[in-house]
Structure 1
Amino acid sequence: MSTPDGLDARTDETGVWVDLPRGAQDRPVDLVFDEQRIGSFWLERDTVARGAERFWAWPAPLRPHLVGRTRLSLVDHATSAELFAEDVVLGAPDDPQQRITVADGQGNPLGLDKSMRLMRLFADRSAEHLDPLLDSIEDVLTALRSAGVHAFIAYGTLLGAVRQGGFIGHDSDADLGYVSAHDHPADVVRESFRLQRALVDMGYPVTRYSGLAFKIFVQESDGTRRGLDVFGGFLREGVLYLMGEVGHPFEREWIWPLGTASLEGRDLPVPARPERLLAAMYGESWRVPDPAYQFETPAGTRRRLNGWFRGTRVQREEVWDPYYSRAKGRSQERPSDFVRWVRRRERDATTAVDVGCGTGADVAFLAKHGVHAIGLDYSRRAFARKQRKLARRGLPATFRWANLTEVRSALVTGALLSREPGPRVVLARHVADATNADGRANLLRLARMALGGQGRLYLQVLSAPAPGGNPLGVHPIDVDALVAQVEASGGTVVARHDLAGERPGPTDPGATPYLCRLVVQWPQ
């Protein structure tokens, strides 16, 4: 169906298809269901070519809501002109009159933010709902100032204040930033951790993103638990580096002394030349609204920021957190054959540590058998649901975040686990083959510390490509090289099992082994 503007489009269960005329100017459009804006995308930049058409796939967070009937339209974001509209039915609704609803459990409308997450957007929140957020911003700015840095509103929050004096309608969160007086990465990291400790002492829960960025949680007056991102920055050799996207030539006078700008009627601190920072963040076109803006950080800036501050977060936000947010990732509730095999061999173990526990299905299996089970994973999102469920049932299970590619995390976690009662066992199913050489070294270091000579480490890895495809993030490794790495750590491989499938036992004589299980011990 097309409109007088000439945009031909159609929708199906997979997404939106647009027949974009040759030479047509690319532009952002709003996706609207029954007059509710759901999200935005650029007709060419954010779509892929499929034959003569352009295709925009339904984002994963939106798909569970796509059951029912709606009037779907595409609206030019700049002019509000309706470019396309039709009544559609998606999914298989029980009631043919059921309308598609994109809302939270309380009925609050949700929309896609710039990261394609379904959130409560500012456009759908009243001034009454925004006041607690503004109170939180002022509260955290004061806390940061008392901790020793002069912070200011940043990114989309700064953009909205300068461009329109209020929150951007298609935004969903608030960002703060500060520029350190230090000019060396090591010094600004030390300062960032000092700030975190000071904020924790003030009673604020804090979670860290990287060596120079963290989130502060504030309990708002309406009961909402709000997280405010704090991005640290510093000037070095005439360049401003500000987490998480900026590496741009800059002058000190463009930051200090701080000025103010009005945000929803409140005067909040901003850099001395806020337009300079906005140009560094969004480019010279920052004054033109773009509801589907995507940061295009130069490769050199990304390499520096990763190397200095966040190199140990590799693949978490790109792979593991999104995976465990999807139904497929959350559905892994059955205990593995591996944990059953380990349990049969370790009947006397009173404490078990599952490294790379994922959703926690194996942790739950061990806890149900009376074992004090501890799950470790890089993604808190992976085990969050199981952690709540097992806590409600009072089972002997705990979960901790751990990062095998960060030496400090491995050492601290290993030290804590060494205090657990024995005899112990450590399990690592598809961990050594899902990390790098440093991660494997830290896995062995953590296991040796946790066991303290009182138990064994059980490993399962891919030794060849798996029939039907490898598990997400897993790749076959050289088992002989892994054995050599174990021996270099002071350990001994006391058993090795090469399998042609997940279940041990008789297999087709013609089947090629692709799984390997190792049992490792260290001397007391």
Structure 2
Amino acid sequence: MIASVKRWLRTSWLTRDLYQRLYDVKHQREERLANAALTSDGAKVLADFQDVMRKLDAEWYLAYGTCLGALRNHQFISHDLDMDFYLCPKPEAGIEEVKNALSAAGYRHHHDYQVEGKTAECSWERNGVNFDIFVLEEKPEGYGCYLFNRFPDSSYSQEHEFSVSLSTAPHITGKREIDLAGVMVPIPANAEDFMKLYYGENWIVPDPSYTWENSLPSRKRCTKRGYYIQY
């Protein structure tokens, strides 16, 4: 019932403009709070996360903008809202084992994106600091991890259904450590190849005009559908 009312408020010509303005105000406030939490407590949450992963002997790496900030100046990107991590699953330390360990350690599980009943991405929070874990592995479409969006050229049968894209990735050639906000954490040995793929050859120089749409050439649209599950 609530979902139906929200959908009507969002789409009706009587209320959609007001609904969008209210949504934007709420969203901007949430972004300010998320950025402030990352700036003040991100390093502590990162160190705690690393302890959990070490106990599991999980194979993980910094990903996307978090890796970019570490490579550029060993800090979180000033306008970033969360941390991004890759998980390379092992039989004893896959995504379900990681989720169980984080829950036991007191992290708040926010949501999952699932494909064919399996978690491909999950989001967590601690002390107001948010982070996403992306499952990086060989897929039928190639090596990489799945990302989830709603596109104007697609139709969806339910509110929590999403289009699935494979975010392609170079095969990892090894591991090295890097300082991020005073914490030594793992990145792929060939992390620069990842950055070139997602942010272009000139990735080391910040681009104020960059948006996530710039990385679309590094994605392959799939015929699969993903589903958002909130906790």
| TM range, smaller chain | 0.5 to 0.7
2:68 aligned residue (139, 142, 159): 159
**In structure 2, distance between residues paired with 1:299 and 1:248:** 6
The aligned counterpart of 2:192 is: 275
For residues 249 and 300 of structure 1, do their structure 2 counterparts lie closer, same or farther at Cα, with a shift above 3 Å needed? Answer: closer
- Residue 218 of structure 1 aligns with an amino acid whose one-letter code is R
Residue in 1 that maps onto 2:220 = 301
Change (3 A) 1:131 1:299: closer
- 2:167 maps to 1:247: yes
1:137 to 1:61, Cα distance in 2 relative to 1, 3 A: farther
Cα distance in 1, alignment partners of residues 22 and 166 from structure 2: 28
Report the CA distance shift for 1:237/1:265 in structure 2 as closer, same or farther (over 3 A). Answer: same
C-alpha contact (below 8 Å) 1:111/1:121 kept by paired residues? no
Query: What is the identity, as a one-letter code, of the residue corresponding to 2:188?
Result: P
SS of 2:138 mapped into structure 1: strand
Instruction: Give the superposed CA RMSD.
Output: 3.7
Indicate yes or no: 2:124 matched with 1:216. yes
- How many residues are matched? 188
Q: Does 1:266 align with 2:183?
A: yes
**2:32 equivalent in structure 1:** 119
Give the CA deviation at 1:243: 3.9
Separation (CA, whole Å) in 2 of partners of 1:212 and 1:247: 12
Question: Deviations 1:402-441 (Å, cap 9, x if unpaired)?
Answer: xxxxxxxxxxxxxxxxxxxxxxxxxxxxxxxxxxxxxxxx
Higher normalized contact order (CA 8 Å, seq sep 6+, divided by chain length): 2
Residue 146 and residue 157 in structure 1: after superposition, are their counterparts in 2 closer, same or farther (change >3 A)?
same
TM-score calculated relative to the size of structure 1:
0.31
Deviations 1:121-171 (A, max 9, x none): 75xx59xx8352201011112212323422222211111110122121122
Cα distance in 2 between the residues matched to 1:246 and 1:215: 18
| Structure 1 unmatched ranges of 5 or more | 1-58, 65-103, 105-109, 183-189, 220-224, 314-377, 381-400, 402-524
The alpha carbon displacement at 1:286 in A equals 1.9
- What are the within-5 Å matches in structure 2 for residues 49-198 of structure 1? 60=21, 64=25, 118-120=31-33, 122=35, 130-181=39-90, 191-198=94-101
Mapped to 2, the partners of 1:283 and 1:237 lie a distance apart of 26
Contact 2:198 2:218 in 1 (8 A): no
Encode CA deviations 1:331-370: one digit per residue, 9 max, x unaligned. Answer: xxxxxxxxxxxxxxxxxxxxxxxxxxxxxxxxxxxxxxxx
Percent sequence identity over matched residues?
22
CA contact (8 A) 1:240 1:250 kept: yes
Query: Retained in 1: the 8 A contact 2:124–2:130?
Result: yes
State the partner residue of 2:104: 201
CA apart distance, 1:311: 1.7
Amino acid at match of 1:169: S
The equivalent residue for 1:488 is none
Q: Give the match's secondary structure for 1:170.
A: coil
Runs of 4+ aligned residues of structure 1 deviating over 6 Å after TM superposition are none
Structure 1 residue 172: deviation in Å? 2.0
Instruction: Label 1:168 to 1:192 Cα distance change in 2 as closer, same or farther (>3 A).
Output: same
In 1, Cα distance between the equivalents of 2:24 and 2:192?
A: 38
Q: CA 1:299 to 1:176, structure 2 compared with 1: closer, same or farther past 3 Å? A: closer
Instruction: Give the 3 Å change call, closer, same or farther, for CA 285–121 of structure 1 in structure 2.
Output: farther
Q: Distance in 2 between matches of 1:290 and 1:171?
A: 14
Shift of the 302–142 alpha-carbon distance from structure 1 to 2, 3 Å rule, reads farther
SS in 1 for 2:46: helix
For residues 300 and 158 of structure 1, the distance between their equivalents in structure 2, rounded to whole angstroms, comes to 18
How far apart, CA to CA, are the structure 2 residues paired with 1:300 and 1:177? 16
Q: Distance in 2 between matches of 1:130 and 1:299?
A: 29
Residue 226 of structure 2 is matched in structure 1 by 311
Change (3 A) 1:248 1:226: closer
Larger Rg over CA atoms:
1
Displacement of 1:60: 3.8
More strand by share: 2
Q: Distance in 2 between matches of 1:243 and 1:205?
A: 22
Alignment of 1:463-482 (within 5 A): none
Task: Return closer, same or farther for 1:158/1:252 CA change in 2, 3 Å cut-off.
Answer: closer
Deviations 1:254-288 (A, max 9, x none): xx2x2112223332221111111212332333223
Task: Check whether the contact 1:141–1:152 (CA below 8 A) recurs between aligned residues.
Answer: no
